[in-house]
Amino acid sequence: MTPAPGAPAAGHRHVPGFDDLDRDWLRNRAGVKWHRVDQTVLPAWVADMDYPIPRAVAEALHEAVTYGDLGYPDWPDGSPLRGLFAERMTSRYGWEAAPSRVREQTDLIQCLQLLLHLATSPGDAVAVQTPNYPPFLATLKTMRRPAVPVPMIQTDQGWRMDFAALADGVARHGCKVLLLVNPHNPTGRVMTRDELQEIAAVARRHDMLVISDEIHSELSHAPHQHIPFASLSPDAAARTVTITSATKAFNLAGLRCTVTHYGPDRLLATRDAQPPDLYGTVSTLGVIGTQAAWRHGDPWQKELLTVLDRNRHRVHDVLRERVPALRHWLPEATYLAWLDVRRLRLTEDPVQYVLRRGKVLLDGGEPFGPESGGYLRLNFATSARVLDEVLDGVVTALAPRQER
């Protein structure tokens, strides 16, 4: 097959297309996903895609390294990402973000820790959707900001946010901050405008800062459309810090480059009053790669979304047919499937159960929150062939439980 659109040109190593991936090529990569398992195990855990990066990104990075263009960057007014982020928000979502309010950081967790440090004190409560990205929950615990769970609840239509729990929890615990993850990891929900307006009303009523993680926004599957929280209203814009990156949508996690848009004037001033290098910043290569992705990577991303859409339906259809007691809703965004295996009554930890019987490594649910022990997260961002092998392993492990 021909390489995926935007994949780097072949050099001394073959660069496959989206569906040309094989185990040898994948195991030769440096990322953690394939290095944590032995040759007999298929990894479908950590949220890295198996695909090569866009050609435009590879060529931009190659040119910078080849010509030695790695000196101190000339960014007296911040990196070029500030204006580029604003342009992308306008073109994609109709949100008029201000470049002057954009700042760069190394990664998402660093952004969250900085914001909590500047805007809260130990003991201040933070409302957070559960289940949730484990490093977020770990950050709240380490920084002694009590997490007030806002459960995502299962309905006949899929996952929905428990708005009664949000209103009650915020009122009872006096939450200073709402940590919003939209699109949501791990359930894959994309919040509708009505849902976001309901969240915004609670935030306004209790004068909360909203930290909105929108890093999966460009991986929303049609017909679902991402809506930036800060775009809802002037009030929402003034109380929201939006965090995003090209890393998820273009498979660039190793570049360590994130942008943050500050709505609150006082918080931005407080942030800018800190020693400029205290919290670090992005690397030159991180900026170069992100620029290339946002300027030239959209054809690659369009093809990616087609592949991910096929894969999410494949996961849903296979598991519904072959392990019907397993509950799973088609994700509206991301490349992650959140699997409820509680009705299978497994005899040991679900991760170990599938690993031992099916030779597939998935993420366990317990780190995502105290009520998630009976869940598994499956990464389906791989080739059709590898995905079928992953699903065969999962079915081999779990299907016999149907007969009990």
Question: Can you identify the CATH homologous superfamily of domain 23-54+298-403?
Answer: Aspartate Aminotransferase, domain 1 (3.90.1150.10)
- What is the overall mean pLDDT for the chain? 94
Tokens of 223: 């017909």
Q: What is the pLDDT of residues 149-182, one digit of tens each?
A: 999 999 988 999 999 999 999 999 999 999 999 9
Q: Are 130 and 371 contacting, i.e. CB atoms less than 8 angstroms apart? A: yes
Quickly state the pLDDT bin for 4 (edges 50, 70, 90): low
CATH number of 81-296: 3.40.640.10
Quickly state the pLDDT bin for 113 (edges 50, 70, 90): very high
Q: Are 139 and 113 contacting, i.e. CB atoms less than 8 angstroms apart? A: yes
**The tokens 């073109």 sit on which residue?**
91
CA gap 170, 64 in Å, rounded: 48
H or E element that contains 234: helix 234-239
Nearest to 362 by CA among 70, 45, 83: 45
Q: Does 402 score more than 80 pLDDT?
A: no
Q: What is the pLDDT of residues 55-82, one digit of tens each?
A: 999 999 999 999 988 888 888 788 999 9
The pLDDT value given to residue 23: 87
Rg of the chain (C-alpha set): 21
Handedness of CA 92, 214, 108, 50 (dihedral sign): negative
CA gap 370, 105 in Å, rounded: 30
- The domain limits of the chain are 23-54+298-403, 81-296
CA gap 100, 352 in Å, rounded: 49
Q: What is the pLDDT of residues 176-204, one digit of tens each?
A: 999 999 999 999 999 999 999 999 999 99
CA gap 220, 230 in Å, rounded: 18
Same fold, 23-54+298-403 and 81-296: no
